[in-house]
């Protein structure tokens, strides 16, 4: 294994979900992140909220973005998480778009912002599985 590949595999894995406040797909991205961190791969991932990346005056969070294997989970085609990571100087190793995952199984549709419902929870699990299947863990 070459030195660059070893360095990448030794780096921290960081999930950056979209903020999507007021959008059901935003709620789904945060639930998918919770599922990955707490249920499917505890101890493998860390996360940081999108606002912290943009408000980081001390540059600590941006340095974390630059030195981690970052996985972005965006809710919609605006791709705010991915754009913010790139703005902070990072390069996502994996970008997941929740609406694309939803397009593959429309029955996993979120119910509402306050309660994404069973369909939304299943969509969040689908998104988490996409991360794992694509080398996220």
Mean pLDDT of 79-104: 95
- The radius of gyration of the chain from alpha carbons, rounded to an integer in Å, stands at 15
Parent domain of 111: 11-136
In-domain check, residue 29: yes
Top pLDDT among 19 and 126 is at 126
Q: Quick check: 109 and 120 in contact, CB under 8 A?
A: yes
Q: What is the dihedral of CA 3, 12, 16, 62, to 10 degrees?
A: -80
What is the pLDDT, as a whole number, of residue 8? 44
What is the pLDDT, as a whole number, of residue 22? 82
What domain count does the chain have?
1
Report the CATH number that the domain containing residue 39 is assigned in CATH. 3.40.50
Mean pLDDT of 68-83: 95
In-domain check, residue 5: no
Strand partners, 95: 72
For the cut 80, the answer to whether the pLDDT of residue 3 exceeds it is no
What is the pLDDT, as a whole number, of residue 51? 87
Q: How far apart are the first and last CA of the chain?
A: 18
DSSP summary character for residue 133: I
Per-residue model confidence as pLDDT tens digits over 95-112: 999 999 999 989 999 999
């Amino acid at each position: 294994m070459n030195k660059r590949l070893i360095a990448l595999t030794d780096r921290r894995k960081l999930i950056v979900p979209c903020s999507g406040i007021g959008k059901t797909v935003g709620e789904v991205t945060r639930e998918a992140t919770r599922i990955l961190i707490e249920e499917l791969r505890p101890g493998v991932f860390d996360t940081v909220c999108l606002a912290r990346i943009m408000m980081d005056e001390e540059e600590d969070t941006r340095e974390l973005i630059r030195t981690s294997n970052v996985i972005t989970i965006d809710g919609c085609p605006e791709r705010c998480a991915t754009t913010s990571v790139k703005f902070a100087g990072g390069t996502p190793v994996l970008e997941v778009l929740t609406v694309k995952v939803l397009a593959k199984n429309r029955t996993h549709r979120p119910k509402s912002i306050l309660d994404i419902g069973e369909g939304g929870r299943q969509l969040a699990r689908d998104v988490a599985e996409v991360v794992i299947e694509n080398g996220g863990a």
